[in-house]
Amino acid sequence: MVFASLIVSLLLADFVHSDCECGYTVNSTLYTDLLETDFLHLANITSDTDWQPQNYTVTPELARGPYGKNASLSNVVANPLESQYDWAGNGTNGGDAGLQIIVRGGTPQDGLIPMGEVATTREDMLQGTFRAGMKVTATSGTCGALFWYFNDTQEIDMEFLSAEYNATSHPVNLVLQSTESEQAGFNAAGTGTFQVHQLPYDPSGAFHEYRFDWSNNAVTFYADGVLLDTMTQAIPTQPGHITLSHWSTGNPDWSAGPPATDAILTVEYMKAYFNSSDPARQKDWTDRCKDPTAVNATCAIPEVTEPPNGNVSAKTFFFSQQKNETVNQTVYGVVKKSEGVAMELSWKARTDTIMLLLFSTALVMWEL
């Protein structure tokens, strides 16, 4: 019996073609897909097809502020490190390296405050763990946001209001938008799914990891791996996308502002591990994953923990930067794109060779 199961497990182990082919885990929770972006080493956001820098305007009325919003590509700026071997320091444009998402200071043009935003191309994210390394602005009068979005009543938000900061207070606003918040004019304050938590540090002073995990029955929020809140109402049910946004409408009750000078939110990385609502991606997973219990079929997602015990290696770790840990995943990012193409080409190449063989065999037989 033991011998038989050993043989079975050896046979199954043989089916593991590449590490993590069944997905990525947080304890026993498995996610099949991933999207990882290393903004510290990304030279051009426009060339990263995982992300769409946003270009839109919102009127003051719809923005519910004295001012409207003008999101443009010029306010999303890649500022990579000089060296691919470094993991901290100033970017090539000066200042903190990473993706800069900017709210422009001074008098708004046309009643609109210039702002920046990027959203993921993928809109099939249905439950997952979503993590961003960010340093928010110290310039008063903006809202920096990491959020997942389906529609105005299915949304998971972590929002940082720079006007709220002083020497002793550094809150983060955690929100699940809901039909209740919609009924209150998109003011979640009176609902059960709006919570304000004090961070034990100044989030404009250094980079920290902000994270939310969304499962069937809860959304949990974290800062540097420390649990901030668990919400069990208004849990989203539909698939959506991730957005990183930095904006201001001058509304004294929320973003305040406009900021006196340019305000910069800097993002070091985004790491999202999630399940997909897309039948094509689900089929990819069933093709890839023969046995989730086989050795290395699933990989544990490293935890970032709070300094001074913080795990620097976890922060700089990307499955997509390992040789064998994202094989046959659909990723659009700069690095993986070429690998994906290479894989597709080699597969095509093999098919072509077979066709050529069949064709020449047929030709030979015809000649005979």
Ligand X SMILES: *[C@@H]1O[C@H](CO)[C@@H](O)[C@H](O)[C@H]1NC(C)=O
Stretch that binds ligand X, among 198-206, 295-303, 331-339, 358-366 (CB under 6 A): 295-303
| Shortest separation between residue 358's beta carbon and ligand X, angstroms | 19
> Which residue type is seen at 233?
Q
Binding characters for ligand X, 184-223, by CB under 6 A (x = yes)? -----------------------------x-x--------
Closest separation between CB of residue 364 and ligand X, Å? 28
Q: In angstroms, rounded to a whole number, what is the distance separating the alpha carbons of residues 50 and 272?
A: 12
Nearer to ligand X, 5 or 344 (CB): 344
Nearer to ligand X, 49 or 360 (CB): 49
Binding test (CB under 6 A) with ligand X, winner from 109, 183, 230, 293: 109
Using the minimum distance from each CB to ligand X, give the nearer residue, 287 or 357. 287
**Residue with Cβ nearer ligand X (31 or 67):** 31
93 sits near ligand X (criterion: CB under 6 A):
no
Between 127 and 243, name the residue whose CB sits nearer to ligand X: 127
Q: How far is CA 313 from CA 61, 128, 224, 292, 295, in A?
A: 46, 22, 14, 26, 23
Question: Pick from 262, 302, 316, 332: which binds ligand X (CB under 6 A)?
Answer: 302
The answer to whether residue 12 forms part of the interface with ligand X (CB under 6 A) is no
CB of 366: closest distance to ligand X in angstroms? 31
CA distances in angstroms from 45 to 16, 42, 312, listed in the order given:
34, 7, 25
Q: Give the range of 13-21, 59-67, 257-265, 331-339 binding ligand X by CB under 6 A.
A: 13-21
Residue 168 contacts ligand X per CB under 6 A:
yes
CB of 359 to ligand X, least distance (A): 22
Among 88, 277, 327, 339, binds ligand X (CB under 6 A): 327
- Convert the chain into a string of H (helix), E (strand) and C (coil): CHHHHHHHHHHHHHCCCCCCCCEEEECCEEECEEEEEEHHHCCCHHHCCCEEECCEEECHHHHCCCCEEEECHHHEEEECECCCCCCCCEECCCCECEEEEEECCCCCECCEEEEEEEEECCCCEEEEEEEEEEECCCCCCCEEEEEEEEECCEEEEEEEEHHHCECCECEEEEEEECHHHHHCCCCHHHCCCEEEEECCCCCCCCCEEEEEEECCCCEEEEECCEEEEEECCCCCCCCEEEEEEEECCCCCCCCCCCCCCCEEEEEEEEEEEEEECCHHHHHHHHHHCCCCCCCCCEEECCCCCCCCCCCHHHHCCCHHHCCCCCCCCCCCCHHHHHHHHHHHHHHHHHHHHHHHHHHHHHHHHHHC
Question: Which residue in the set 103, 112, 242, 265 belongs to the binding site for ligand X (CB under 6 A)?
Answer: 112
Interface with ligand X in residues 225-254 (CB under 6 A): 238
Q: Which is nearer to ligand X, 293 or 324 (CB)?
A: 324
State the residue number with the nearest CB to ligand X. Answer: 302
Distance separating alpha carbons of residues 142 and 32, to the nearest angstrom: 35
Of 114, 133, 141, 240, the residue at the interface with ligand X (CB under 6 A) is 114
CB contact at 8 A, 157 and 301: no
Does 353 participate in binding ligand X (rule CB under 6 A)?
no
Q: Pick the binder of ligand X from 9, 12, 26, 229 (CB under 6 A).
A: 26
Query: Does position 151 bind ligand X by CB under 6 A?
Result: yes
Residues within the interface to ligand X (CB under 6 A)? 16-19, 26-27, 29-32, 44, 46-47, 55, 57, 70, 72-74, 90, 94-95, 109-110, 112, 114, 127, 151-154, 166-169, 182, 213, 215, 238, 275, 288, 295-296, 302, 311, 313-314, 317, 323-324, 327-328, 347
